[in-house]
Amino acid sequence: MVNIIASDYQVLRDGELRLDDGESRQLEFDIQNAFHYSTALRNHGLLTFNIRPAESGRLTVRAVGSGPATIMNRRTFSQSHTRMHQEAFNLDAIVSATNQSIGQPIGALLIEFRAQDGPLILSDIVIHYKIVVPVA
33: left (phi over 0), alpha (psi -120 to 50) or beta: alpha
Q: Look at residue 14 in the predicted model and tell me its pLDDT.
A: 93
What CATH architecture applies to the domain 2-135? Sandwich (2.60)
pLDDT one digit per residue (tens) for the chain, 136 residues: 788 888 889 999 999 999 999 999 999 888 776 777 665 656 678 899 999 887 888 888 988 765 657 777 777 777 777 888 898 887 776 766 655 555 455 677 888 999 998 889 999 999 998 888 888 7
User: Does residue 127 contact residue 29 with C-beta atoms inside 8 Å?
Assistant: yes
Instruction: List pLDDT tens digits, range 27-48.
Output: 988 877 677 766 565 667 889 9
Domain boundaries, the chain: 2-135
Q: Look at residue 38 in the predicted model and tell me its pLDDT.
A: 66
At 79, phi and psi to the nearest 5? -60, 130
Sign of the torsion formed by the C-alpha atoms of 28, 31, 37 and 40: negative
At 98, phi and psi to the nearest 5? -70, -45
pTM value is 0.82
The amino acid sitting at 109 is L
